[in-house]
Amino acid sequence: MAQDRLVMGVDLGTTNSCVGVWLNGRVEIVPSDQGTRTTPSCVAFTDRERLIGEGANHQVATNASNTVFDVKRLIGRSFSKTDAKYWPFQVTEDSNDNPRIKVSYLGKEKEFSPEEISAMVLVKMKETAEAYFNRSRQRQAVVPLITTAVITVPAYFNGSQRQATMDAGFIAGFNFMRIINEPTAAAIAFSVNRDCSKSTVLVYDLGGGTLDVSLLVIKKGVLQVMATSGDSHLGGEDFTNNMVDRFVNEFKSKNPHIRSDISCDKKALGRLRRSCEDAKRRLSTVPLIPVEVDALFQGIDFQSTITRDQFQELNVDLFSRCMEPVRRCLADAKMDKNKVDDVVLVGGSTRIPHVLKLVKDFFGGKELSRNINADEAVAYGATVQAAVLTFPGLNLPKVLDITPFSHGIGMPQGVMCVLFPRNTTIPTRWSNEMEFTTRKGNPSSLDIKLYEGERASLSVLSWSNAIKVLFRMDVNGMLRVRATDHESGQEGKVTIRNNVRRLRTEEIERMVKDANNYKAQDEDYRKNVQARNDIENLLYTMANTIMKLQDLVARLLLHEATPEEETQTPAYQDSAARLLPEATPEEETQTPAHQDSAARLLLEATPEEETQTPAHQDSAARLLPEATPEEETQTPAQQNSAARLLREATPEEEKQTTEQQDSAARLLPEATPEEETQTTGDHADCTPGLMQYIFRWGAQNKGKKKIQAQKDSIKKLQDSITKLQETADATIKWLQNQELTTNDMIARKNLIQSINKQIERASH
């Protein structure tokens, strides 16, 4: 459905990348999984996993040799030792002088091309955008919706670098809608929601690795790029490299006794570089910054400071290069700087105070426009362009871009015949077909060499056939050629690429397959880690359950009341106190005999006693059997006790007896109708004192049953504790195995969950 189509714009930066999506009729800049609105263009490899973005950036100091960044400076270029000396990771060259990045991944040495590393960053951007889209639609599972995107490149990228970026997108699983220049994208973001008939805007984009300057005319919703210029090797990383060189030399001068060279320690350089980047950013707001690194090299701490003036002096050569593209751009467009209406600053390095001063002074103190976010403007404009290409009916700015370099063919005289001068609006085509004639022989093929750049002199070429050739340049700045043979009429078409720098088709296919495998490995590792975390959480829950059960067993063994019983304890104790009056001194000495008499009163009659039933008509005879010879010596005391038991109650005792009966009624369950009739008949003649002893005997009997039930409960609880402890010990030992698969983890997690549920049901 149209509303479910997700369009995406990506600013694939040297230091940081940013992604935007078109959602609900407007651009949404997508935050990363860490909550930041930009993601470091950084990829790290470990023995277990692959990290991209913030996770990779955070462990640069500890895993320097396997953490790759600044790959945008390598893509589509030849190998350069100048840049390689500043990187902690290893960069080598292949047989075609193309750079290759060596890292250790999953315990093996691997080589990656810059296109593969860029593709990993693009996949991260794609996943971030899809997750945000699904969260906004409140979906339960992430559905891969993105297959097309607009990706930005520096305006001064040549054809080889543009093609390499497109290859990276293809490896990441994209079908490109458009490659768009970064300053052009920033101008789109600047022009959205602006109501002006005509405006001339200069975009100054100084990022982490490149400098681009473009001059545009915005008129009636159309952005016409007039000229562009730049430096593909000038940015914030160069300022950082100069700071690293300065502090390395300072460390050597402060520690001359150290014979080892700190420059060979990649980990030390990585930590120093991180401190330099932080100091560079902070110098934009404060005039002096301390630079401190604990145990930088061989356990020696490094402490220094740098001021804003020292930073400017250190990078004076770089600052002098910052304004040259501005002059060249204005000259190509034949535009006076006083006619520029707005100067828009884009890129993180434009926050450097001296850069702001240089640009402002160049335009005669003109106030610079900073009403768009310097870090997000390029991604914002790329997303708008993606929406324009996907939904043509939207009222959004349209773009007419240009090619930054001249394109031509080599002529026999040793010069280049320019077909498309730089700053030519694209798409375009060569207005006339060129005809090439064979000089000698009758060969079956024709070699035509195409060139990109501003050099006019070339080596001498010779033609070997007669054909007509038509040249065309598309919106992505790629040159397409159509050739027709005069004699046979055969026609061929080709897109011109730099085959020396470009990946071969089989290499791209292999990289696409590898990218899918890496993604599957990452997903399996995430599931493995999640399952392990779940198991550890279950073990923690199991430990708490064991402690609770052990505490419950201890309380049962000590006859401690449960929380529910504690609420009834005061009433129970009060009832017991009221049911049994305090014994007199005489009664205390006679208690054993008295208890024995009470027991006989409550026992069922034996056959011999049943023959004495008629004698029970006498109240005393019914209540007490005849005394034995031993009891006769105690008869006076017993009679005294019986008198007290059977005498009529006083008013105070009647009141006490009522309370006792009421307490007994609360403590004992309600009797059934059958029990009530039986009780009435059995105890109709019982005095209140005798009822006290009946209740006491019932309570003792009930207590015996309760004790037996507690013993059974204790046994079950102890068995549960043993089972839980055995399971926990076995699982902890099992987790020490590092070769466990995800399926093993999930199976073990399900087993522990099942045991926990069984124990919970049993304990309840």
Residue 18 and residue 29 in contact, taking contact as beta carbons nearer than 8 Å: yes
CA distance 204 to 322: 10
- Bridge partners (DSSP) of residue 425 are 402
Please say if 662 is a catalytic residue: no
Minimal CA–CA distance to 15: which of 240, 320, 343? 240
* DSSP code string of 703-723: HHHHHHHHHHHHHHHHHHHHH
Helices and strands (DSSP H and E) totals, the chain? 23, 28
C-alpha distances in Å from residue 134, one per residue of 8, 140, 143, 156, 164: 14, 8, 8, 36, 31
CA distance 207 to 652: 99
Residue 237 and residue 14 in contact, taking contact as beta carbons nearer than 8 Å: yes
Minimal CA–CA distance to 532: which of 261, 318, 737, 285? 737
Residue 133 and residue 475 in contact, taking contact as beta carbons nearer than 8 Å: no
Tokens at 39, concatenated: 């993601």
Please say if 11 is a catalytic residue: yes
Query: 124: which residues sit within 8 A by CB, 6+ positions away?
Result: 39, 52, 53
For the beta sheet containing 99-105, the strands, ordered from the edge strand earlier in sequence to the opposite edge, are: 90-93, 99-105, 108-112
Catalytic: which of 72, 124, 280, 749?
Answer: 72
Tokens at 245, concatenated: 């060189």
CA distance 526 to 533: 10
Tokens at 630, concatenated: 């031993």
Q: How far apart are the first and last CA of the chain?
A: 52
Please say if 401 is a catalytic residue: no
Single-letter amino acid code for the residue at 756: N
Please say if 195 is a catalytic residue: no
Chain centroid, CA 222 distance in Å: 40
Would you call 305 helix, strand, or coil by DSSP?
A: strand
Catalytic: which of 70, 83, 167, 205?
Answer: 205
Chain centroid, CA 111 distance in Å: 27
SS (H, E, C) 177-189: EEEEEHHHHHHHH
Residue 764 and residue 720 in contact, taking contact as beta carbons nearer than 8 Å: no
Number of Cβ atoms within 10 Å of the Cβ of 516: 12
Catalytic: which of 182, 238, 342, 376?
Answer: 182
DSSP tag of 658: H
CA distance 744 to 142: 25
For the beta sheet containing 222-231, the strands, ordered from the edge strand earlier in sequence to the opposite edge, are: 342-346, 198-206, 211-219, 222-231, 398-402, 425-426
Catalytic residue IDs: 11, 72, 182, 205
